[in-house]
Structure 1
Amino acid sequence: MVTSALDFDFDVVVIGGGPAGATTSTLIAQQGHRVGLFERETFPRFHIGESLIPQTYFTLQRLKMIPKMKVSHFIKKYSVQFVTQHGKLSEPFYFVDHRPQDSSQTWQVRRSEFDHLMLKNAAEQGVTVHEGARVNDIVFDGTRATGIKVTLAGETEPREVRAKVVVDASGQQSMLIGKLGLRDWDPVLKKAALWTYWKGAHRDQGRDEGATIVLQTKDKKGWFWYIPLHDDIVSVGVVAGQDYLFKDRGTTDFETIYFQEVDRCPGLQPRLAKAERCDIFRAQKEYSYRSRQAGGDGWVVVGDAFGFLDPLYSSGVLMALKSGEMAADAINEGLAKGDTSEAQLNRWHKPFADGMDRMKRLVLEFYDGFSFGRFVRKHPDMKDLVTDVLIGDVFKDDVDQLWPLMDELRAELAAAKAAQAAQPTPM
């Protein structure tokens, strides 16, 4: 898809047409700037990360996407549920009970369709979109990015495209953080995921039909996501430590490993009893990383090109949209005052990274076995802030009140456990 006549002199060039690239380009084009977006694939194309959390609503609203989402066939999502390693199902957590507003209803999306809708929306708002375009390199003049070299669909020779700002939204391969050596792998979250799709799997009824379900496996060594999509399809994947999932099993066969974990998940087995697998098995390993910098002279990284956290709590699309939004605001401000320096284009890094860290803290607490129920019972006034993190409202300092109180409870429980262990054994 090419949305206008060829033009190779832009205010901003965006590499990648996923949610982060589409968001950044759309919000910049809305301000009247010339934006060229170059996407390697031809959409629609497969991608994982299908569950939207409520806080995505506000960025989608700025993108003028909400009316399109409301008339789409995407499954409406009102809640999340958790299932213990013994198969016990929690009460649904309805977002509207926390915030009675439109944003409390969100969607479960097939990413091939959602991303295509986002890309078309960008084109409708003035972005020049080139699909099937392979970006060969990012051009620098000293430390300043000045454009890209790209081979367009149907061409054999690359051409140079000039821009005041280059936005890398190229996904986890991330051209810029690789080129500049900025990637830091997470030292703790060394997880992996293995997933496939099912037809005819169990679906709850009414407003519970679209609930995301998080099911723990025995001994809490891993957990499954269960995400109902349209056309009677359910996305079901297991997340666990990379070494546990793929080493020392005597097999590297994805199907065998997947069903070994299904057998260890009592809450999942009845949901798949009458289902038929309708896709291949896919895996992704050690995916938690982050760039040490979000922007430099003439360049910015957004979405998975900046970093990825973890599938738990479905924060991936939110982080893509929010990074695109915050980067676009910094770029628009810089273009308006003629400043595309590192100081200007990296100014959104800290507030975004702080939000990512808040979500990461809750992810780590889950993996560490922290009892959120016990915490809320002890601090009922903190329930709303815990909920804020779960729905993605993490870009505010108020949330930081949680962490000292969580540390305090953990210390109390550890002390009580140590005291109990020190008690003499009855004769």
Structure 2
Amino acid sequence: MNTAGAGSPLSLVNAHVDVVILGGGIAGLTLALQLCQSRPQLSVVVAEKVTPPIPEAAHKVGESTVEIAAHYLRDVLGLADHLDQEHLNKFGLRVFFSDGDNTDISRRRELGHAVAPPQKVGTFQIDRGRIENALTQMVSELPQVTMLNATTAIEVLMDDEADHVVTLRSGAADRQVRSRWVIDSTGRAAFIKRKLGLSEKVGHRANAVWLRVATDIDVDDWSSDAEWHDRIRESCRRLSTNHLMGHGYWVWIIPLASGATSIGIVTDPDIHKFADLNSLEKAIAWLDTHEPQCATAVRSQLSRVLDFRVMHDYAFGASQVFSADRWCLAGDAGIFLDPLYSPGMDLIAISNGLIVDLIDRDYRGENIEETCAIHNEMFKIITDGWIQIYAGQYPTMGNSRIMIAKIVWDTAAYWAVPGLLYFHDLFKRLVDHPQIVTGLAQFSVTSKAIQAFFRQWAAVAHSDPTSHDQGEPFLSFYDFEFMAPLHSGMTAEHPDEELTKKFQENVELVEFLSGQLIATVFEEWTSSSATTQQREQVTQWKESPLLTSLLETFERLRDTVMIDPGWITGHKSRQLCSKDT
């Protein structure tokens, strides 16, 4: 194992390497592995403040992966065996919406998979301690990598022409390392971001508290209703990332391969005060009020609680994450948005790929300024678009009808655009695909408009009890005819000329779905039963040129696309009702 302490060769002053990675968590370790796979001749130092092994189960959150992250870990990094043997295959996202006092989960509206998705788009529940220990072992055994454990960065002297000089401290000993590239993967410590004043607010406020319990907590045990159990035809609910959702909050329940369970409460601070949640006792009391079945499950296992953590106002941004001056921000050292939909590891996957691309181009002797600017712009388009998914949306979580439509739209858009691009390794090649760059910008504009539409729809509907809880008690993602093709379509392996066409078709499909959503709500809110407030809101919406354009796309395509509006009204597609979905 190529690890180093204070007495290693790298304790010598002015040692020189190609890349120094500050931070040996999952972002830094996966980056080191990917760098060495891409360019084996690189010399890399990873400086990590903790000495491994780190504890399993009660280490870090971020245990649930979605498709981009799973593809990165499994296929890009080649960790399929480790994931299959040491972690759990995830049964997708699952949401239970509030019903009365939430004392009977079988009465709550449910959205999730009924059958397992195809393996090529399979995802995982990962134990962060277990995977980071494994990655540390893998990276340490690479001959071109030196792991410096129990080591922190004291100073980084940037030089846009010569090597950077990084001062590292291990115990009482300091060492200097000269490096062409420096990558900040220090998480929320954000060493370089703070040094360069790159922090940005993101317009989203939320808080989270969480605990890990050293036993299985299985939502299937919360009801004996046979019909409710029979909804799931493959796998089991326990393997899903289960969400208990209500007005201004959601609770996650995630199983871990060690047999432990991760439980978190995420809230809008304007609806649920952080002071009512920021201790284990307060969090359980809050669950007593809002999620009593979960509270009962936790109370029965109090002696097995492994930890309790809190994070106040967790979302943050960065004005820049990649620099042609040969530094970058990776993982939480740059941007963190929200745990809903598990985007954290996705952003690591995308940004690590772009960092590797920049370093590779630099070592080939290319001028990377233009590429770096494009990478920054595209990454900002992605993160600026994704933050709108969360900002001001937590009040919507109390309305199952609107939230189901939103989750379906969000998921379809994710599979159709960023998922398709990532599975085809296109983010780093966008400079060569101007049509896709244009389409991505167009998609971003549509996404922001529809997220605003969801917020406004929910704000007006909040005062109308008849708008809540409409539709069927259980809906599967594949109950809607466009979802399964989008999901499996990410893995289609299109050649570039076909990919551009498919991407444009997917962007148009997202615009069609957006127009269909608008048209459906317009029709309901201009009917004879509509309230004055609903009619006034429609009048305001009609003044938006963008919403009008999306409506026109829907009208132009509705006779050829033929998608049932059940995803908006909360009903299975009529085209699929007779099929076993």
**TM-score of the two chains, using structure 2 as the length reference:** 0.63
Name the stretch that deviates more: 391-400 or 31-40. 391-400
Equivalent position of 2:124 in the other structure: 107
Partner residue, 2:365: 337
Match of 1:420 in 2: 531
Match of residue 33 from structure 1: 42
Residue number among 6, 30, 40 corresponding to 2:9 in the alignment: 6
Equivalent residue of 2:531, what SS?
helix
2:294 corresponds to which of 254, 268, 272: 268
Amino acid at match of 1:127: V
SS at match of 2:252: strand
Shift of 1:157: 3.0
2:18 and 2:44 in contact (8 A); partners too: yes
Give 1 or 2: higher strand fraction. 1
Seen in structure 2, the aligned counterparts of structure 1 residues 383 and 226 have a Cα distance that, compared at 3 Å, is closer
Q: Provide the residue aligned with 1:160 in structure 2.
A: 176
Q: Secondary structure at the match of 1:68?
A: helix
Distance in 1 separating the partners of 2:71 and 2:329:
21
Counterpart-to-counterpart distance in 2, 1:328 and 1:3: 23
What residue ranges of structure 2 are gaps of 5+ in the alignment?
103-107, 222-234, 423-435, 454-514, 535-581
Q: Which residue of 2 aligns with 1:285?
A: 312
Return the offset for 1:9: 0.9
Q: 1:384 to 1:81 in 2, by over 3 A?
A: closer
Measure the CA separation in 1 of the matches of 2:193 and 2:295: 41
- Displacement of 1:243: 5.5
Q: Is the alpha carbon distance of 1:376 and 1:221 closer, same or farther for their aligned partners in structure 2, counting shifts above 3 Å? A: closer
Letter in 2 for 1:150: L
Please identify, of 404-413 and 157-166, the stretch whose mean Cα deviation from structure 2 is larger.
404-413
Aligned to 2:167: 149
- Find the counterpart in structure 2 of residue 176 from structure 1: 192
Deviation string 1:132-180 (CA, Å, 9 cap, x unpaired) is 111111112379771310013xx52311101111000110110011011
Instruction: Give a deviation string over 1:91-131, Cα, whole Å, max 9, x none.
Output: 4236854xx34232x22122111122222222334422111
- Kindly state the Cα deviation for residue 191 of structure 1 after the two structures are TM-superposed: 0.8
Deviation at 1:23, TM superposition (A): 2.2
Task: Give the drift of 1:20.
Answer: 1.5
The aligned residue for residue 48 of structure 1 is: 61
Question: Cα distance 1:50–1:19, how it changes in 2: closer, same or farther (>3 A)?
Answer: same
Shift, 1:413, TM fit: 4.5
**Other-structure match for 2:241:** 212
Check conservation: 1:331, 1:345, Cα contact below 8 A.
no
- Greater shift in the superposed pair: 125-134 or 254-263: 254-263
**One of 69, 90, 94 as aligned partner of 1:77:** 90
Q: Is residue 306 of structure 1 aligned with residue 309 of structure 2?
A: no
| Equivalences, count | 410
Of 114, 119, 124, which residue of structure 1 is paired with 2:141?
124
Distance 1:226 1:366 in 2: 21
Please say if residues 162 and 180 of structure 2, whose CA atoms lie closer than 8 Å, have aligned partners that are also in contact.
no
Given candidates 196, 207, 211, the residue that maps to 2:211 is 196
Instruction: Tell me by how many angstroms 1:345 deviates.
Output: 4.3
**In 2, Cα distance between equivalents of 1:229 and 1:222:** 23
**Aligned AA (1:121):** M
Q: Compared with structure 1, are the counterparts of its residues 94 and 361 closer, same or farther at alpha carbon in structure 2 (3 Å cutoff)? A: farther
Greater radius of gyration (CA): 2
- Aligned partners of 1:64, 1:228: CA distance in 2, in Å? 23
1:396-426 superposed Cα distances (whole Å, 9 cap, x missing partner):
7385455556646469758939951369xxx
What is the CA distance between 1:50 and its match in structure 2? Answer: 0.9
Verify the 8 A CA contact 1:79 1:94 in the aligned structure 2: no
C-alpha distance 108-384 of structure 1, shift in aligned 2 (>3 A):
closer
2:145, 2:94 → 1: CA distance?
A: 39
Q: Quote the Cα distance in structure 2 between the aligned partners of 1:335 and 1:311.
A: 36
CA distance in 2, matches of 1:394, 1:267: 40
Name the CA distance, whole Å, in 2 between partners of 1:95 and 1:347: 40
Indicate the structure with greater helix content. 2
Comparing both chains, which one has the higher relative contact order based on Cα–Cα distances under 8 Å and sequence gaps of 6 or more? 1
C-alpha RMSD of the superposition: 3.5
Amino acid at match of 1:210: L
Map Cα deviations across residues 295-342 of structure 1 (whole Å, 9 max, x no partner). 221211110011100011111122223211221112111122154x65
AA aligned to 2:63 is E
Change (3 A) 1:389 1:196: farther
CA distance in structure 1 between the aligned counterparts of 2:361 and 2:91, rounded to whole angstroms: 36
State the match for 2:390 in structure 1: 363
Q: Distance in 2 between matches of 1:36 and 1:287?
A: 29
What code does the residue aligned with 1:301 have? Answer: L
2:31 — aligned with what?
Answer: 24
Q: Is the 8 A contact 1:200 1:274 kept in 2?
A: no
Q: CA deviation at 1:262?
A: 4.0
SS state at 2:193 partner? helix
Out of 152, 156, 162, the position equivalent to 1:134 is 152
